[in-house]
């Protein structure tokens, strides 16, 4: 029997700081200042025992990513979970706050729009999703991979010959994912290729701005070497036009890449992003302290996502999901091993890292995690299991008095 346990630190934290940071936007550096003076109480959230909520068809090795959870809370409180992204998306839902779940149902998508893998909720109650139909050559002999030796003694992993293509479209469902209409193309320029993912929840901000987290490439040269960058696409006119803002820039000058961003909006409008990073440096030179740069990097924006602070590593892990809980708390679910973490200071520091406990508590039995608020005292967590990649488990987090 698998059980979820938590190591929780409970107390009071007062945060008062001056944030001075530099955000790289479109290749230019822009400086912005903001004074932060907030008092946020750390809160204990106790997890329930996880249980199976979805079992898909047995998956081959090539199909191991077919089942991945993505959960959102509708305006009426219904929880809708995408459990199999793609052209024929499979959903489950809960109308009682995650206590029980419906039988799976398959959504019907328009022809020639590809599959859906990222969800969000409009203020008018509609479910929204990003559809993409992509193609790449990563698993072919056309892509060359080699170790290169730099003059300073470092050894770095380099790629050549990678190609990716595809379009993004924004779609809507008024029946919780059963049927979909696609209303607009998403302009990704100046990126030459971009995609969304299940952990990157689509947001409608407090001012009506639509925000789509994306990863991709800013040039053909970046694509050739798989120099991934992460950012957000924003629309201020209901999806008619779009603007791209970079958050994390991958390039061979630094040998680090950014992908799979997740964004949450705080009560005061501050946006917090966590991104997966990978370090292409495989062997450091003597005295080099670059090791361990991989993990989840944090960036923030105080102007609705136009400019972002310089990314800083905040957690060891990968593939995160992020949501805002009541009282100014952020909840992050991530893996290797699967964990849940809480932050009372906008993601700068984290407490209450909770492990999914098996016979070996640190075993990598869980992959992708999706988290969402249920109500003022409850949150829900979905976790993709491994080595059985067709199973999703769920637990509830209950806020303690």
In order along its 401 residues, the chain shows pLDDT tens digits of 333 333 333 222 222 222 223 333 333 333 333 334 456 889 989 888 889 999 999 989 889 999 999 999 999 999 999 999 999 999 999 999 999 999 999 999 888 889 999 999 999 999 999 999 889 999 899 999 999 998 888 899 999 999 999 999 999 999 999 999 998 999 999 999 999 999 999 999 999 999 999 999 999 999 999 999 999 999 999 999 999 999 999 988 889 999 999 999 999 999 999 999 999 998 887 666 655 788 999 999 999 999 999 999 999 989 999 999 999 999 999 987 788 999 999 999 999 877 765 556 556 667 899 999 999 999 999 999 888 899 999 999 999 98
Q: What is the CATH number of the domain that holds 194?
A: 2.120.10.10
pLDDT for 361: 56
- Report residue 111 CA to chain centroid gap: 27
pLDDT for 364: 62
| Predicted TM-score (pTM) of this structure | 0.88
Nearest by Cα to 66 from 53, 85, 42, 40: 85
* E strand segments, 241-338: 243-248, 256-265, 271-279, 281-283, 295-301, 312-315, 318-325, 329-335
Q: Compute CA distances 264 → 14, 53, 240, 373, whole Å.
A: 21, 25, 23, 12
Supply 34's token pair. 């903001």
Give CA angle at 347 (117, 231), nearest 5°: 45
Tell me which DSSP letter residue 62 carries: G
Distance CA 322, CA 370 (A): 8
Supply 241's token pair. 């036009």
On whether the CB atoms of residues 131 and 109 are closer than 8 A, the answer is: yes
Tell me, letter by letter, the H, E, C secondary structure of 173-204.
Answer: ECCCCCECEEEEECCCCCCCEEECCCCCCEEE
Number of domains in the chain: 1
Distance CA 375, CA 110 (A): 33
Tell me which DSSP letter residue 289 carries: -
pLDDT for 34: 39
pLDDT for 360: 61
Unique residue bearing structure tokens 């929204």: 128
Residue 172: CA atoms inside 13 Å, Cβ hemisphere, count?
12
Nearest by Cα to 13 from 331, 346, 315, 344: 344
Q: Can you say whether the dihedral through the CA atoms of 257, 262, 266, 268 is positive or negative?
A: positive
Nearest by Cα to 319 from 274, 265, 280, 385: 274
Q: Can you say whether the dihedral through the CA atoms of 346, 352, 358, 363 is positive or negative?
A: positive
Nearest by Cα to 75 from 130, 122, 129: 122
Alpha helices in 61-219 (DSSP H): none
Peptide bond into 337 cis (omega under 30): yes
- Report residue 229 CA to chain centroid gap: 14
Supply 127's token pair. 């479910």
Pairing type for strands 45-47 and 28-41 reads: unpaired
Q: Note down the domain range covering 337.
A: 3-399
């Amino acid at each position: 029997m698998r059980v979820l346990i938590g190591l929780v630190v409970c107390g009071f934290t007062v945060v008062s700081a001056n944030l001075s940071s530099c955000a790289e936007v479109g290749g230019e550096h822009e400086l912005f200042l903001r004074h932060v003076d907030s008092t946020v109480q750390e809160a204990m959230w106790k997890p329930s025992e996880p249980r199976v909520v979805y079992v898909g068809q047995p998956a081959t090795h090539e199909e191991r990513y077919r089942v991945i959870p993505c959960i959102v809370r509708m305006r009426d409180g219904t929880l809708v979970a995408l459990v199999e992204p793609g052209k024929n998306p499979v959903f489950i839902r809960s109308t009682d706050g995650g206590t029980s779940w419906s039988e799976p149902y398959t959504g019907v998508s328009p022809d020639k729009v590809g599959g859906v893998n990222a969800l969000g909720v409009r203020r008018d109650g509609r479910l929204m999703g990003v559809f993409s139909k992509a193609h790449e050559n990563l698993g072919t002999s056309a892509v060359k991979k080699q170790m290169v030796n730099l003059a300073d003694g470092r050894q770095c992993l380099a790629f050549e010959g990678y190609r990716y293509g595809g379009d993004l479209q924004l779609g809507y469902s008024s029946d919780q994912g059963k049927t979909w209409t696609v209303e607009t193309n998403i302009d990704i320029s100046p990126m030459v290729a971009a995609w969304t993912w299940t952990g990157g929840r689509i947001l409608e901000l407090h001012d009506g701005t639509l925000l789509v987290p994306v990863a991709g490439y800013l040039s053909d040269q970046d694509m050739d070497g798989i120099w991934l960058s992460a950012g957000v696409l924003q629309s201020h006119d209901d999806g008619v036009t779009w603007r791209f803002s970079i958050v994390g820039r991958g390039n061979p000058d630094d040998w680090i890449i950014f992908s799979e961003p997740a964004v949450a909006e705080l009560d005061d409008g501050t946006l917090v992003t966590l991104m997966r990073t990978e370090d292409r440096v495989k062997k450091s030179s003597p005295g080099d302290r670059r090791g361990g740069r991989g993990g989840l990097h944090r960036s923030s924006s105080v102007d609705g996502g136009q400019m972002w602070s310089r990314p800083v590593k905040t957690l060891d892990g990968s593939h995160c999901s992020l949501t805002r809980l009541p009282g100014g708390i952020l909840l992050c679910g991530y893996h290797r091993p699967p964990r849940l973490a809480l932050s009372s200071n906008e993601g700068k520091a984290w407490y209450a890292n909770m492990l999914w406990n098996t016979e070996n508590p640190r075993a990598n039995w869980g992959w992708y995690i999706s988290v969402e608020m249920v109500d003022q005292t409850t949150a829900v967590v979905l976790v993709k299991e491994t080595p059985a990649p067709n199973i999703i488990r769920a637990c509830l987090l209950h806020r303690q008095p």
